[in-house]
């Protein structure tokens, strides 16, 4: 991983995990009236940790996220299309107030999480923007 | 790019909810239709939603699985002058519960609004992503 990639890697990974979580929360809101649908979410901390591990152990950004084989007996893993690995599979949300049709979506919780996740996504964007500005000013010097 | 998937997910929910709103409109409009095209009283229709999981990632879209017809018997009303009245002078009214349908209508329109807002938030996020480094 080159220095430029490494500088932006953390927030790039954070954006990817936030993206994935936003998608799951959108599914929960979309399925608010689907019988037997169970609301799901990812644990951001563990998803972020496993995603960071995947990207920092990869030698180039091309195989970032690919499973590393350090022994002949290891099975080949395939990097899923930019989604974080299996140790961050979505978990089911615990039910506070169940409904008669078996649906566990609590709209207040989901809306809250959706907005929260969106703001944190934008925070990461701002951080990346700041890093780019910092790098540009280092490149340009005192011009 | 997974934020585009949010559009797909919310879009599927919006079309499912608008189909639900369609059946509500049909039920309310036919609340007094004693005869339908098959000669029997109108039967109330309800949509059944189904979650469709995307294989590549774990998100789910919504689709209308089927439209069911309510089979509970309609209310009998005594009206001997009505052309559809039976030998005892009763007519069978459609089994549409107007109160239930109004609740259904509000629920569908609120769910639709929720998904529009979800989509708008995703759009703002995408536009901000396009402005990285500017």
When divided into structural domains, chain B yields a total of 1
pLDDT by position in tens, chain A (length 143): 677 778 888 898 999 899 999 999 999 999 999 999 999 998 888 888 888 887 766 544 444 455 567 777 776 554 444 455 445 678 888 888 888 989 999 999 999 999 999 999 999 999 999 999 988 898 898 76
Q: Searching chain B, which residue's CA lies closest to the CA of residue A23? A: B6
Q: Which stretches of chain A sit within 8 Å of chain B by CB?
A: 15, 19-20, 22-24, 26-27, 29-35, 37, 40, 80-83, 89-90, 107, 111, 114-115, 118, 121-122, 125, 128-129, 132-133
Residue B81 counted as domain residue: yes
The residue ranges of chain B whose pLDDT is under 50 are none
- State pTM to two decimals: 0.80
Residue B124 counted as domain residue: no
Residue B130 counted as domain residue: no
Structural domain including B78 reads 3-97+105-119
Round the average pLDDT of chain A to a whole number and report it. Answer: 81
Count interface pairs A-B at CB distance under 8 A. Answer: 100
The three state secondary structure string of chain A is CCHHHHHHHHHHHHHHHHHHHHHHHHHHHHCCCCCCCCCEECCHHHHHHHHHHHHHHCCCCCCCCCCCCCCCCCCCCCCCCCCCCHHHCCEECCCCCCCCCCCCCCHHHHHHHHHHHHHHHHHHHHHHHHHHHHHHHHHHCCC
């Amino acid at each position: 991983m080159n220095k430029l990639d490494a500088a932006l890697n953390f927030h790039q990974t954070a954006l990817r995990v936030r993206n994935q979580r936003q998608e799951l929360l959108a599914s929960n809101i979309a399925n608010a009236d689907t019988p037997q649908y169970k609301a799901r979410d990812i644990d951001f901390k563990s998803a972020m940790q496993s995603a960071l591990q995947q990207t920092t152990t990869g030698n180039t950004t091309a195989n970032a996220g690919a499973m590393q084989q350090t022994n002949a007996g290891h099975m080949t893993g395939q990097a899923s299309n930019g989604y974080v690995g299996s140790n961050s599979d979505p978990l089911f949300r615990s039910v506070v107030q169940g409904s008669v049709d078996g649906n566990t979506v609590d709209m207040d919780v989901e809306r809250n999480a959706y907005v929260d996740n969106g703001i944190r996504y934008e925070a990461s964007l701002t951080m990346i923007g700041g890093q780019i500005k910092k790098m540009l000013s280092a490149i340009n010097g005192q011009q | 790019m997974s934020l585009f998937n949010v559009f797909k997910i919310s879009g599927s929910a919006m079309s499912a909810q608008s189909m639900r709103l369609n059946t509500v409109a049909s039920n309310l409009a036919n609340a007094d239709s004693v005869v339908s095209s098959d000669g029997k009283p109108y039967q109330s229709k309800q949509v059944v939603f189904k979650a469709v999981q995307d294989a590549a990632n774990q998100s789910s879209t919504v689709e209308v699985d089927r439209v069911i017809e309510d089979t509970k018997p309609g209310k009998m009303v005594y009206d001997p002058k009505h052309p559809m009245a039976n030998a005892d002078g009763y007519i069978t009214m459609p089994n549409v519960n107007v109160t239930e349908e109004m609740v259904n209508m509000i629920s569908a329109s609120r769910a639709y609004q929720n998904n529009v807002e979800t989509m708008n938030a995703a759009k703002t996020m995408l536009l901000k992503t396009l402005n990285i480094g500017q």
